[in-house]
Amino acid sequence: MLDLKWIKENADQVQWTAEQKGIQLSVTKLLELDRTRRQLLQEIEQRRADRNRLTGQVREAMLLELNDEVRRLQENVRENNDVLSNQKLELTRLEQELRELMLLVPNSVSPDTPIGASDQDNVLVRSVGTPREILFPLLDHTTLGQLHGLIDIPRGVKTAGSRNYYLRGAGVRLHRAVQELALDLLSKKGFELLEVPLMVREEALVHTGFFPLGMDQTYRIQDEDRWLVGTSEVPLINYYSDEILDLRKPLKLAASSTCFRSEVGSAGRDVNGLYRVHQFAKVEQVVICENDPALSEELLQEITANAEELLQLLELPYRVMAVCIGDMSQKTYKQYDIETWMPSRNSYGETHSSSNVHEFQARRSNLRFRDKDGRLAYCHTLNNTAVASPRILIPLLENHQQEDGSILIPEALRPYMQGLERLVPPSSL
């Protein structure tokens, strides 16, 4: 959690940030609780001192065989202990309430973060590539998927309910190919690849800032303290929790994992197709570095460039957006979204996200390093979606469709597709 002293010194800023990020938090109440807690702590310490003093007086009275005095003092001790016991219970309640409020405190945002209320207020940073003009009847990814036998949504819904799907044949190979391409790209750039747990304890999600506010987006294993992750960012950050790290070079981690999200709050949105589904695969980049703002900003640009390089290898037009404060999560200090051109929408759709979190996750996870003077300090953490599938299949299929119904395979993917250069509808074979 963020430092309470810092919150106190920046109360107005914290309250404003919470309101901009849509978080229901009263900083005034938080600080009042802290004052009450500290006052109660002083009273408890005084009660403990009184107990020790009275206990000593009881021993002295016993030695002098002053029985009436012993009984009187023992009654005082009992009364003091009763009050002390109630104060301890009240302290526990106050500390729990204070912790709940502290877990709602948002990270501050970078000075260059745009002000705005939603993704409509995000600001264009750059566009790369020009959307291709399609002069023949456009097929969307679901139609292309059915035509080629790649995607079966009706049977996915029959088996698992809405927002579920099957991938088939070359659809599975494409799904895996983009992940393998991303992993190879990151491995060449010095990222260590990990296979990670898909079920984690609640504390792991608290450590990374996904809880308590994201509980409704997360699936829980019934009757267990285990939750299905919506991103491998959670197990990657927790890999080093409670450790003191050697950060002479930033730690760069990557994982490809299945992810699960409940999509609460998105009823009626993107129900058809593969854009918003409950289960998907994601290759995630996580970087842990010294708490140097200039360094973490440089690394933010680097991991964003990695995702852009992948899109360039996939030969897809995209744009990078600076995310506004109202479209940010609680934990984020600075964020870019990458949106890829999706012809069936006649617009760009979000496919990637990059975030600099500064110390927010490190404080919760107790990730520390020794600075040049040997003092312990909290790290900075960053994360980025290198690729998420099957969402990336939407622009991949739609942008590369041809007039004859075939789909070109980008050259960079062909080694992962057994050299296949294009997908041809079965009826055309």
Catalytic residues: 261, 276, 350, 353, 391
Whole-angstrom distance, CA of residue 151 vs CA of residue 147: 9
What whole-number distance in Å separates Cα of residue 400 and Cα of residue 422?
9
Count Cβ atoms below 10 Å from residue 404 Cβ, excluding itself: 10
Partners of residue 106 on adjacent β-strands: none
* Helix, strand, coil percentages for the chain (3-state, nearest 5): 45, 20, 35
DSSP letters spanning 188-235: HTTPEEE---SEE-HHHHHHTT-TTTTGGGS-B-TTSS-EE-S-THHH
**What are the phi and psi torsion angles at 170 (to 5°)?**
-65, -20
Side-chain half-sphere of 283: how many Cα atoms within 13 Å? Answer: 24
* Encoded tokens for 226: 């285990």
Q: Is 252 exposed, middle or buried (0-12, 13-18, 19+ CB in 10 A)?
A: buried
| Among candidate residues 359, 383, 389, the one with its CA nearest the CA of residue 303 | 383
For strands 347-358 and 227-228, give the pairing.
Answer: unpaired
